[in-house]
Chains A and B, each alone.
Chain A
Amino acid sequence: MIYFDNSATTKIDPSVLATYDQVAQTIWGNPSSLHKLGDRAFQLLESSRKQIANLLGTQADEIFFTSGGTESNNWAIKGTAFQKRKFGKHLITSSVEHASVTNAFNTLEYLGFNVTRLPVDKEGRVNVNDLRNAIDSDTTLVSIMGVNNEIGTIQPIEEISDLLSNYPNIMFHVDNVQALGKNIWSRVFTPRVDFSSLSAHKFHGPRGTGVFYKKEGKMIAPLHDGGGQEKSLRSGTENLPAIAAMAKAMRLILADEAEKAAREEAIKAKIVNYLQDKPGITIFSPVSTGFAPHVLCFSLEGIRGETLVHTLEDHDIYTSTTSACASTKVDEASTLIAMNVDDKIATSAIRMSFDETNTLDEADEFIKVFDQIYRHFAQINHLGE
């Protein structure tokens, strides 16, 4: 099996699962309980928080635990909109965000907020000048992802940070679900970032747990009211086994980060090298510093992405159409559409996403398999004629 769909989810690391198991079975007290079972759980919760803070270069009290990327994104966006509604109702995002961001803004729009969705260029990147022009005195939030989940574009978070340093009252959220462990952290998590989202299952951790980063002193309305956990900002009994497992997974993914990212990019480069200049193939994720090392999106003209995914699956190679979250729906690729890619080409796109467990041999195997598929479809569709 060749698993090239790591942006959809990653396989849980066995040692991470062992931590999950051990915590679930032996440290099962409620961290809020007064007795020593609760105490022990609380201590581990805080140790996990501290470790994650150290790994991300933040303070421990800036780390909040959520159920994952979708919740963190919803919280950053709706929580800020609610918190700041007296100061303004204008929110800015991009047109290439993950559905958990896009749809959160759709909901807020329905509730009466004004939303500006910045356009992107042909690489899927927002332009800082567009952002500058969009900001007005009513703007309270800018939410731009760090790494695009469909084609891997790295957004200009550093430039946006420079711009927003002139607007200290505007909250800046960066969805970094795709960005951790890819050796680009300092480019997408600048000191100007107020809120950021992470999801454990994208780095060999368990599902259903994630991180919400909230810069010290920044105010946000809670979406989960209840028993007052997480400083009363995110109530609900803490999912300790998953949180501890996530802390471990994060430590593991960040060890030798540069070397792992380089290996992923080598796989990508090898496949790109094979694909480029082939008639009918369009590559959306070039090997460049403007793109994440682990995502490769391309289309094969005339074949629906879905068909290509299943054809590869028949050879035990796992990929996805451009966003696994939406790929069960018959839906066009939102990022590619926002890039003004022709509908026909956009619907032919597939996404491959690598991680440190993939090898160059797997790239060779993929090329071998794909070459047969390509020749077959090229003939049918008269590509290059």
Chain B
Amino acid sequence: MEYTEIMIRYGELSTKGKNRKDFIGRLAGNVTKVLRDFPQVEIHPKHDRMHIVLNGAPFKQVDQHLKKVFGIQTYSPTIKTEKTLKDIEETALALMKETYHEGMTFKVNTKRSDHHFTYDTNELNLMVGDYLFDHMSNLKVEMKHPDIVLRIEVRQDAVYISDELLHGAGGMPVGTGGRAVMMLSGGIDSPVASYLALKRGVDIEMVHFYSPPYTTEKALNKAKELTGILANYAGRINFIAVPFAEIQETIKEKIPEGYLMTVQRRFMLRLADLIREKRKDLAIFNGESVGQVASQTLESMAAINDVTTTPVLRPVATMDKTEIISLAEKIGTFDLSIQPFEDCCTIFAPPRPKTKPKMDKAREYEARLDVDGLIERALDGIEVTPIYPDEKFLANKAEEDTALL
């Protein structure tokens, strides 16, 4: 059976009163973006649902993109049929034959917006139910909690039939929550934090620190490729690469070993905040998780957060590592995150960083440095790259391999 359209039910945004129009508009825009490879598809946002008319686009492929759009609660692939009993019955049977497995229960649920249609909802429920009974064996009806609800909607133009209810990504349409910078390292946690920020409707721009020649081109490309995976949820994400080697070398030279990490992190946060300000973003997100490493104790967070009053949001702050990993696996960033390329957090890592650094000491040591000059030169070197869904950056020669093999 080839589905002809998809009916989308909105998530939380249906509760958002007067902002609703914005949200629906944003969601429609985001859906348009992810479906740009299917120009034949029509998108009709309405106040209570959105209809996607496939016009021949394969549902399975569209579905791959659709399930990554935040703001969709559930959706159903449907088939449009003529308004005759015969068409309704035959389509219903064909759909059921594909979905129904031995032992499942079902019910028919009809809705009419065309009240002039020959049959009313009860009649249709009974007639279609009878037809299915006559043409399939061992069917079981269950009114309260059926496995399959066969939905028949009689509208003015046609009848729409579906029997699957698929779960969307939930959350809020990306962009409805404003825009923030995300401090992306390339490890396991920050991509998960990015996903969670996007899920709450926050559009993000990645800030990534790199330190050639201490870090390799590969580490930079890995972060970009991670951004490509996350761009599936956002349509497009700007990647801002910040050169960090000079700052790290200077800190290494002039700051006592116990505070190397704390001062480095203060510089990172300062830079992220300045970039945020310049780009008119509203907040800073990062992938810190309380107590996971020396820089992520509450003492460290306090000593580092000292450099800004901008909200610093930490979506994975209270998650266990195992929870973060399972989410990373679910969103497809884990395998890439564990590629062992050194990033700027691991080089110059002191053997015994202070887990309880003192704020005043951090400030005092930092005063030895030309903070403004270092920051300015780093900002001069930033590069912004827009990254699109599944864009690849690591030398991936899979195609050449396939040709050779």
- What residues of chain A have their CB less than 8 Å away from a CB belonging to chain B? 19, 22-23, 36, 39-40, 43-44, 47-48, 51, 244, 247-248, 251
Contact = CB atoms under 8 A, between A and B. Distances in A.
Nearest to A43: B397
A23 B404 CA distance: 8
B395 interface: yes
B398 interface: yes
Interface string B269-299: 0000000000000000000000000000000
A261 B396 CA distance: 37
Given A22-B404, A47-B398, 19 more contacts: A19-B405, A23-B404, A36-B395, A39-B395, A40-B395, A43-B395, A43-B397, A44-B397, A44-B401, A47-B401, A47-B405, A48-B401, A48-B405, A51-B405, A244-B404, A244-B405, A248-B404, A248-B405, A251-B405
Which of A22, A47, A244 is the most central at the interface, judged by chain B CB atoms within 10 Å of its CB?
Answer: A47
A229 to B, nearest CB: 18
A51 B401 CA distance: 10
A106 to B, nearest CB: 38
Q: Which 8 A-B pairs have the closest CB atoms?
A: A47-B401, A247-B405, A248-B405, A19-B404, A51-B405, A44-B401, A43-B397, A244-B404
Contacts of A247: 405
B233 to A, nearest CB: 28
Contacts of A51: 405
A51 B405 CA distance: 8
B397 A40 contact: yes
A338 to B, nearest CB: 40
A48 B397 CA distance: 12
B134 to A, nearest CB: 43
Contacts of A48: 401, 405
A151 B397 CA distance: 44
Interface string B86-126: 00000000000000000000000000000000000000000
Nearest to B217: A36
Contacts of B404: 19, 22-23, 44, 244, 248
A248 B397 CA distance: 16
A232 B243 CA distance: 38
Interface string B370-405: 000000000000000000000000011110011011
The interface centre, meaning the residue of B395, B396, B401, B404 with most chain A CB atoms within 10 A of its CB, is B404
A2 B397 CA distance: 41
Nearest to A247: B405
A244 B400 CA distance: 12
Nearest to B398: A47
B75 to A, nearest CB: 34
Nearest to B218: A39
Nearest to B404: A19
A288 B398 CA distance: 43
Contacts of A244: 404-405
B170 to A, nearest CB: 35
Nearest to B400: A44
B335 to A, nearest CB: 13
Nearest to B397: A43
B404 to A, nearest CB: 5
A122 B398 CA distance: 50
A134 to B, nearest CB: 42
Contacts of A47: 398, 401-402, 405
A244 B401 CA distance: 9
Nearest to A40: B397
A26 to B, nearest CB: 9
Contacts of B401: 43-44, 47-48
A39 B397 CA distance: 10
Nearest to B402: A47
Contacts of B405: 19, 47-48, 51, 244, 247-248, 251
A72 to B, nearest CB: 21
B394 to A, nearest CB: 9
26 contacts: A19-B404, A19-B405, A22-B404, A23-B404, A36-B395, A39-B395, A40-B395, A40-B397, A43-B395, A43-B397, A43-B401, A44-B397, A44-B401, A47-B398, A47-B401, A47-B402, A47-B405, A48-B401, A48-B405, A51-B405, A244-B404, A244-B405, A247-B405, A248-B404, A248-B405, A251-B405
A22 B402 CA distance: 13
B367 to A, nearest CB: 40
Contacts of A248: 404-405
A290 B323 CA distance: 54
A43 B398 CA distance: 8
A44 B404 CA distance: 9
A40 B396 CA distance: 9
A19 B403 CA distance: 9
A247 B404 CA distance: 9
